[in-house]
Amino acid sequence: ARRAAHRVAAMTDAPSARGEILAHFWSLSADDASTRKRACEALMRDLRAAAAADGARARRSDDDGDGRDGDGGADARAYALRRLTRGLSSGRAGARQGFALALSELATFAATPAEALDALDANVAPITKATKGQEARDILLGRLFGAAAIGLALGGREDVREEERRRCGAEVARRAETLSREKTYLAEPAAACVIELRASLGDETFAGVVEDAGEGLERWLSGDCGGDAGADTLWLACETFEALPRETRDRVQCVRATKKGKKVDWAEMFTRTHLSKISKALLDTAHTHPRMHSAWEMMLREAPGARGVVPLWEIVCEDGLFVSGSHQRRFLGFRVFDTLLSSAEAHEIPALFSSNFIKCLLNNLSAPDNYLHECAVDCLARIVAFASDKKTSSEKKIAVIAALQRQGPTRFDNVTKTNAVQDLVKSLDSDDALHYLQSMYAVVTKAPVQDSDVVGTEEELASALANGTGQKRRLWALEQMAGLAPMLPSDKVVELMQFMLFHAYYKATDGKAGKKGKSNIPASILKSPLEEPTGSVRSACSTRFLAMINSNVRAQRAAASKETDDKQDVVDLLSEATSFCRALEGETAVDMIDSIPDECREVRAELFKALDACVGSGDELAAKVAPLIRVLSVLQVSDWREFTPALQDLPRCVGELVNPKKKSKKSKKSKKDGEDEPEAIDVLTDILLSLLAQPSALLRDVVEHTFKAVSGQVSKEGIQDMLRIIAGPEVGEDAGEGEGDGEDEDVLMEDDDSDVDDDDDDDEESDDDDDDEESDDEEDYGEANDAEIAAMRAAASKIVGTAAEDSDDSDSESEGMDDAAMFRIDKLLAEAFKSRQQDLMRKKNLKRATRDFKFRVISLFQLYAKAQPGSAYLPNAVVTLLEAMRDSLGKQDPQSAQLAERIAALISKHIAHARDLPELLGDEVTSKTIQSKLLEVIVAANRGASDAQVFNKAAGAAAAYLLRVLEAVALHEKGGKAAKVGEEVASENAIDCFREALKMFKSKKSKLKTGFFSQTFARHPALASALLPELFSLVAIDADKPNARGEFLRLEALKLVNPVIQSGKKRYPPLAKSATKSMKTLSVSLAAAIGAPYKNKNTRADACQQAANCIESLNRLIGEIEIKTIIDVDAIVDAVAKQMSRPPALPQKAQKAFQRICALLDRAVPDVEMQPKSDANDNDGDDGSESEEDAPKPKKDKKSKKRRDSSGGENSSKKKVKKNR
């Protein structure tokens, strides 16, 4: 370096370079690449011309003998070398790229690579502590670009000796390795520099370069990609592997070589085991965002030929990029998907549409504000474009469409607000879909092949075979088949359903086909059994089958609800499935996977008889009950232990409902205990409620619609059962520690069979299915501490035993233990901890399942309220639901709050809109019973709840509903007709209820709000007219003594009275007569409210203003008669004068209110003097005695004042002492 500095200094001391050469350096910094290229060519041309001119001049000088040297060309070359190496550190425009290009060309023909390296060291500024970040970055990039330029120049210098080329190449490699460790963003371009050096020098020379480069380059190549090494190590090692020396190849960890060890074995590179090792390096390439790292480009280039598309996607993308919270990694995942989709085979495409990818895609498509929204939109557009391209094969096109259809027929179109996917489906040829379906049949039935990279024992190999790639491919094929259903004709859809059903619950045996040797079962099913190992294929078939039936049932309802002429016929897959099951059970060549015992087969036979009776009856109710029987007959095959008990009484119930028969009085008594036999509808309701707890989405859907069909016959007992479930305690609230282990626990805790999103289902009940998605907070295991500590002590005392007894001076149990005892107690403690945590988790899951069951019953009750708005059981249900809501709010946890909100929605949106006059059934609906229920609601509202807003709204809706019912029932009992609007008369029952409510409102502990009364009086002005004296009595409450409660009640009463009076003239004219009749009482109350003492100045001003509004409203209500002729004017004016005399001075709002009152009464505003504060306080009470609220206050004030004085004196004395010190 020192010699290079002297040499360069000599160059800089030479005469100035030519002027025409200087202009080229400006063009080398241009942004346009073509401009830089032309400038480089011109610079090299001028340098060659200068060198040629110098040579000619030198020859002439030798001939003339003048002794002058032609060194102009050398000067120009030296200047260019110095200028180019210095310009590499410039970040202006394209200077770095242009100067590196010119340096490479210069080092190729003019300067030697060694001179270029020396100039690079001499002219690129060093990095010191004072160097700023951006400046240091430019310097590092300048060094890298210079090394890369010299490395490229080495390839064109055949005139340089081999040893010199190796030496310069090793120097370039060392510099690249050093720079790769400086900054992360330099690692990839440094690796590119070494890779280009290999291409420039050739494999043989590059091998010598690696040997001469030293340990740094070997350490870089042999880095562990699962540890500290990055993707640059992987890329560099793979691209240079064949040219590396043998010893270096043996030390490379991230590359799998062929058997000969000279080439990269890409098939081994894409095994799942190796991908797991290098996945960290591939994931840590987010710093190149938005550009894709070269290592990724290499892997994506080699994956299709090595059959590595699926492993690369699953290991690195699905379980890596898309589970990360990094936007950059997910962006990279979308880029990788685009590349792999275009190169994947048809059977590999289903793996690309994996769950995490679809979830990420849909989430970003549905949120326009997301960072990756535009990227997700572009990804979906590329998918559609790929499937729409004419060059795409039909198999790939169908695979893409089937994968999109698996998310729902209109899921993607609804999110993007387009019809791109639907148009894609319509463009598909059904013949292509059938051809693809046949290939999927073969994939599912064929046994999987063991993965090549799996090793282990026989058990491990068997487990890997049952859960390996081959088995996953079978599951992908099932998903593809389910996605093809909308594209198939009806007969092929039925065939697909039969395939799913058969392989889910049945298997072929060696028996003959039937009695006559003929079979109704398709030969394609019997001759293509599901080869072992089946693994999870049968359960997947069951899930897909039930999902197909569920979607088909909803599609039939949607088609039936359409009133257009172009209705599409939808095949009834549920009926086809039931018939297929009955046909299979008659075949000797077919057997169930889980055979049903004979006693259960008898129940099944009775169920089919009931189904035949429903089908043959032609009754509308029977047609609506038949789907339930069909679903249960199919589900019994899947789990006969669970569903058979629920089917035993179902045939009898259905038979009695469809064909009701009169029973004699004797038959109503059971023979055993003489009790009444339950009615068929009650038994059916119990069955439906028990089935509602099942995890099957299909079964719950059918149960809801069956209940809706029979809701008109549901009895009081059935409604009470539903209310008992909703209002019942949750698990662990009133049960013992060991209770709760039963069959219901297993039922509630099973997984749901629904695996599809039906976005085209617009039923009104769809929003009621959200109960399955309720989430629980993490369990707090702190409550287990006591039990765990007790278990520890018990275990310790059990193990120590005699050892503790033999220890004379032992202070603790642990001192008597040996090592073996300690190991035994550790094992027992671990078991105690594990058992306790499992018990807590079981109770948590059971509690969540119980709450979900309540949500489902609430949805069922909503259906009942909507289908039977005139039910006589709804008024009684309101009180129970309100109490259940209060209990849920009292638990104060998020899940209970959600349950309370659902109950509030049930009351406010459904029950509150029921009919005014229910169906009268005996003593269920009378004015007295409804009055008692209304009083209970009012009492509940008076008690309140923790979440007052939600509870008060529901209580107000319940009270309004019961009041409507009470008025209608009372009028019906009297035999009267509904009065015209404005002529209604409130019933005595309603008046008594709300008179009690007003009494409750006066209490300090009352939680009743003004809104509760204002809503009621706005809807029932007749009730407000009847209660007008009681309302005005609130206006004068505690008017003789100042207290906060009295002030609040008076102001709230005025706010309540004013709307009633203001709206009475139009809505209820008889209110004027009632007000005129009670004007004396009204005058006294208003005068008391105006003249009452107020402590709060804002309340005082508001009360005066509301009183003025009330008098003005009364004047407008009476109309023809002036208010001053019937109201007690003197009392009102005296009250105004009394209020004006009270200190402090009236607020401006109150003064204006009194001016309005006096003007209306045709009196002047009283001119009074304000009393002193003491006199005003003395005159507050008529008898001069203090009120209860005010009596103890002076004593408290005196005591507190004494404390303040004493403490103040003490503190002041301390301060004085401190100051003196």
- Which of the four pLDDT bands, split at 50, 70 and 90, describes residue 1211? very low
State pLDDT tens for residues 867-899: 999 898 999 899 999 999 999 888 888 888 899
First to last CA, the chain: 77
With 80 as the cut, is the pLDDT of residue 488 above it? yes
Mean pLDDT, range 1193-1221, rounded to an integer: 43
State pLDDT tens for residues 458-475: 777 777 777 777 788 888
d(CA 875, CA 9): 105
- Which of the four pLDDT bands, split at 50, 70 and 90, describes residue 858? very high
- The answer to which of 6-10, 139-143, 640-644, 968-972 has the lowest mean pLDDT is 6-10
Are 197 and 217 in contact, with CB atoms under 8 Å apart? no
Under 8 Å CB-to-CB from 911, ≥6 apart: which residues?
A: 865, 874, 877, 878, 881, 957, 958, 961
CA-based radius of gyration for the chain: 45
pLDDT at 1173: 65
With 60 as the cut, is the pLDDT of residue 63 above it? no
Report in angstroms the alpha-carbon separations of 19 from 105, 107, 174, 203: 20, 22, 37, 43
Extended beta strands in 589-717, E state:
590-592
The dihedrals phi and psi of 1169, each to the nearest 5 degrees, come to -90, 145
Mean pLDDT, range 195-221, rounded to an integer: 92
- Which of the four pLDDT bands, split at 50, 70 and 90, describes residue 906? very high
- Which of the four pLDDT bands, split at 50, 70 and 90, describes residue 302? very high
Supply the pTM of this predicted model. Answer: 0.68
Of the two residues 125 and 800, the one the predictor is more confident about is 125
Mean pLDDT, range 1113-1132, rounded to an integer: 88
Instruction: Name the packing angle between helices 430-445 and 469-484 (round to 10°).
Output: 150
With 80 as the cut, is the pLDDT of residue 564 above it? no
- Which of the four pLDDT bands, split at 50, 70 and 90, describes residue 647? confident
- The answer to which of 830-839, 1000-1009, 1172-1181 has the lowest mean pLDDT is 1172-1181
pLDDT at 1154: 92
Specify which of 380-384, 475-479, 693-697 reaches the highest per-range mean pLDDT: 380-384
Of the two residues 555 and 466, the one the predictor is more confident about is 555
Share of the chain above pLDDT 70, in %: 81
State pLDDT tens for residues 1076-1094: 888 988 999 999 999 999 8
d(CA 141, CA 88): 8
d(CA 559, CA 573): 14
Are 942 and 948 in contact, with CB atoms under 8 Å apart? no
Mean pLDDT, range 920-935, rounded to an integer: 83
How many Cβ atoms sit within 10 Å of the Cβ of residue 120? 25
State pLDDT tens for residues 129-158: 888 889 999 999 999 999 999 999 988 887
With 80 as the cut, is the pLDDT of residue 1135 above it? yes
Share of the chain above pLDDT 90, in %: 34
Of the two residues 802 and 1117, the one the predictor is more confident about is 1117
State pLDDT tens for residues 736-773: 444 444 444 444 444 445 444 444 444 444 444 444 44
With 50 as the cut, is the pLDDT of residue 903 above it? yes
pLDDT at 801: 52
Q: Which tokens belong to 1028?
A: 């007008």
